[in-house]
Amino acid sequence: MTRVLAILALMLSLMAGPVRAAEEIVAGLSQNRISITAQFNGSQILIYGAVKRNEPEPQTAPLKIIVSLEGPSLPVTVRRKVKTGGIWINRDKVEVDSAPTYYAVATSAPIGTIISHTEDLRRRITIPTAIRSVGASGTVTDSGAFSEALIRLRTRDGLYKLSEGAVDIVKDTLFRATFDLPANLVEGNYRVRILLYRDKVLLDEATETIFVRRVGLERWLANTAEQQSEFYGVLSLLIAGFAGWAAAAIFRFIRS
Amino acid sequence: MQIYLPIAEVSVNIFLLVGLGGIVGLLSGLFGVGGGFLITPLLMFVGVPPGVAVATGANQVVASSVSGVLAHMRRKGVDFRMGTVLLVGGLAGSAGGIWLFNLLSRMGQIDLVIQLSYVVMLGSIGLLMMQESLRAINRARRNSAQSHRRQHSWVHGGPMKIKFRASGLYISVIPPLLVGFGVGVMSAIMGVGGGFVMVPAMIYLLGMPGKVVIGTSLFQICFVSAFTTYMHAVTNQSVDMVLAVILILGGVIGAQIGTRIGARLKAEQMRILLASLVLVVAVKLTLDLLIEPSELYSLAWGRR
């Protein structure tokens, strides 16, 4: 009888996903809406929270937290220059079907001490696992070099970032991490993921969404350019023509 | 002060952009070149995606060339008849160029073609102009009597002769049509107005007098670049109006100043200046092709 109960309990806990342990994440964001205006020059997001417990803290291993922030994914083409007939030209290319336009991971300790490699592959936590270059088009044999280049270039531009030790944990209960979002942010929904680990075992996972949107004139221009491109084209030309005429007229007025 | 560009999706210093526009406008007023061959690489350098840089550069060229044409019109420096003939050839060439552009893109060789045509065109034109203007200066210095050389070449023969009064020419309509066509093709492929090719072609090939060359070139450029801008806006949605307005602000001022300076410079000096500028860009582009780049890889949005 007790055996049957134990199996039932085990099945239930498996169905509920990660072990519904005594520790849970309660999370908050400094803002869940970022407006891109003409003055937009990057933004800082504070992700904070607490670990809620129903029983005393287990003394087995220290609490470790990973926080990731992922922007919308878009296809991207990676090209490589090759010396051909004495000149450097773009020859090889790999089309990556989908890569996050922004991806930052902050951890409370060196990543290797928090999760195993299999866990990383399963939840796609570190940068290389978060970018799946599935659609590597046929011509290239060393597509790995292209994914590395993608990561290198985006890291250089501040779009991909791994900050080990950037999550502060206070008294094994409160945590906080700040993310610097760059100015060249792509519009869309940004996914926040908070993962709670103890002894390389996932205790709880929480997700939040940050909405990044253009507003005001910026929004109107982007929408018009996309939806009424003929009107937008004519408008650009009218503005340019008028500016040219106005400049000539003003300078003539100044000189006379 | 940073400003966010809605189509380019980057944030750039506004004064830097005004300055870039100003430099290009200055060149436009001074030499009658649109400056597209400078603004596109410069914009890419400050982080604007290439597609947006090409399209918005074309939009800026519209404004600076309109402003330049108006300034030259008052000095009677525009041959409208010649400009119209060049324009007809130019629009046809531009349409042909867009077709060629798409063909090369499908073959995956467009980058190489663009770079090589920049090097070849800029290099040969720069050398040609430099040689010609140095010779002209030497001749003037020696004070030899053969000052006015208007020899009749093959260009001046041919059927369908038209009188171009402002240029003082009575030549066949075919050579200017071909010049316009060639420039139109280039404009579509290289994303430039083509003034730096047209100005020498008008001087050396058609034998037009210096005082109408620049105004007429600008007249043609403003229509061809307007066509290009519209095509980019409709097909690629890559014209950034905020970026364009800032560049225009700097550009129109630069163009007016350039026109004033140009009126004071001697034609030979101006040609040497333009030739040196063209050669500098050509040398830079050649080096880019020959020297191993520090980063072999580059990224492009899948959708552009």
State whether A183 and B11 contact (CB < 8 Å). yes
Mean pLDDT of A172-196: 87
Sorting pLDDT into bands at 50, 70 and 90, what band is A104?
A: very high
| pLDDT tens over chain B, length 304 residues | 778 887 777 778 888 888 888 888 787 777 766 667 777 777 877 777 777 887 888 888 888 788 778 878 887 878 888 888 888 988 888 888 878 877 776 666 666 777 777 788 778 878 887 887 788 778 777 765 444 445 555 566 666 777 777 777 777 778 888 888 888 887 777 766 677 778 878 887 888 887 788 888 888 888 888 888 888 788 777 788 888 888 888 887 887 788 778 777 777 777 788 788 778 878 887 887 787 777 777 777 654 3
Search chain A and give the residue with CA nearest B7: A222
B74: chain A residues, CB-CB within 8 Å: 252
CA pair distance B231, B236, nearest whole angstrom:
8
Cβ neighbours, 10 Å, residue A30: 14
Q: What pLDDT sits at residue B304? A: 35
B293: chain A residues, CB-CB within 8 Å: 81, 88
CA pair distance A134, A151, nearest whole angstrom:
15
Given a cut of 60, is residue A21 above it in pLDDT? Answer: no
CA distance, residue B36 to nearest chain A CA (Å) = 15
Compute CA distances B256 → B29, B39, B171, whole Å.
Answer: 6, 18, 32
State whether B297 and A229 contact (CB < 8 Å). no
Search chain B and give the residue with CA nearest A81: B296
Distance separating the N- and C-terminal Cα atoms of chain B: 28
- CA-based torsion, A106, A112, A113, A119: positive or negative: positive
Q: Which of A167, A150, A168, A146 is nearest to A159 (CA)?
A: A150
State whether B241 and A152 contact (CB < 8 Å). no
Residues 6+ apart with CB under 8 A from B34: B28, B61, B64, B65, B192, B193, B194, B195, B221, B225
Q: Which of B96, B95, B27 is nearest to B61 (CA)?
A: B27
| Interface check A254 vs B, CB under 8 A | no
Eight-class DSSP state of A94: E
State whether B255 and A247 contact (CB < 8 Å). yes
Q: What pLDDT sits at residue B182? A: 86
The order of strands in the sheet holding A87-100 is A87-100, A73-84, B297-301
State whether B289 and A87 contact (CB < 8 Å). yes
Structure tokens given for B256: 């007016």
ipTM tops 0.85: no
- Which of A236, A253, A254 to mutate to test binding with chain B, by most B CBs within 10 Å of its CB? A236
Sorting pLDDT into bands at 50, 70 and 90, what band is A133?
A: low
State whether B248 and A243 contact (CB < 8 Å). yes
CA distance, residue B289 to nearest chain A CA (Å) = 5
Q: Provide the chain A residues 98-137 that lie in CB contact (below 8 A) with chain B.
A: none
Q: What pLDDT sits at residue B147? A: 43
Eight-class DSSP state of B156: G
Eight-class DSSP state of A190: E
Eight-class DSSP state of B292: P
Given a cut of 80, is residue A162 above it in pLDDT? Answer: yes
Sorting pLDDT into bands at 50, 70 and 90, what band is A103?
A: very high
CA pair distance B199, B219, nearest whole angstrom:
12
CA distance, residue B161 to nearest chain A CA (Å) = 33
Given a cut of 60, is residue A17 above it in pLDDT? Answer: no
Given a cut of 70, is residue A20 above it in pLDDT? Answer: no
State whether B3 and A150 contact (CB < 8 Å). no
State whether A38 and B64 contact (CB < 8 Å). no
Class of domain A21-214: mainly beta
A41: chain B residues, CB-CB within 8 Å: 2, 4, 11
Structure tokens given for A106: 């902050």
Q: Are B246 and B17 in contact (CB under 8 A)?
A: yes
Sorting pLDDT into bands at 50, 70 and 90, what band is A132?
A: low
Minimum-distance CB partner of A77 among B47, B233, B302: B302
Domain ranges for chain A, please list them: 21-214, 215-256
Q: Which of A138-142, A164-168, B76-80, B205-209 is predicted least confidently?
A: A138-142
Q: What pLDDT sits at residue A11? A: 56
Query: What is the tens place of the pLDDT at every residue in A114-131?
Result: 888 888 888 888 888 887
The two beta strands, A201-214 and A33-36, are parallel
Q: What pLDDT sits at residue A105? A: 92
CA distance, residue A181 to nearest chain B CA (Å) = 12
Given a cut of 50, is residue A218 above it in pLDDT? Answer: yes
Give backbone dihedrals phi and psi of B154, rounded to 5 degrees, phi first: -60, -25
Structure tokens given for A49: 């929270």
Given a cut of 80, is residue A65 above it in pLDDT? Answer: yes
Task: Report the predicted TM-score, pTM, of the whole model to 2 decimal places.
Answer: 0.70
Query: What is the tens place of the pLDDT at every residue in A28-42?
Result: 888 888 888 777 777
Residues 6+ apart with CB under 8 A from B215: B32, B68, B69, B72, B73, B75, B77, B78, B79
Q: What pLDDT sits at residue B145? A: 45
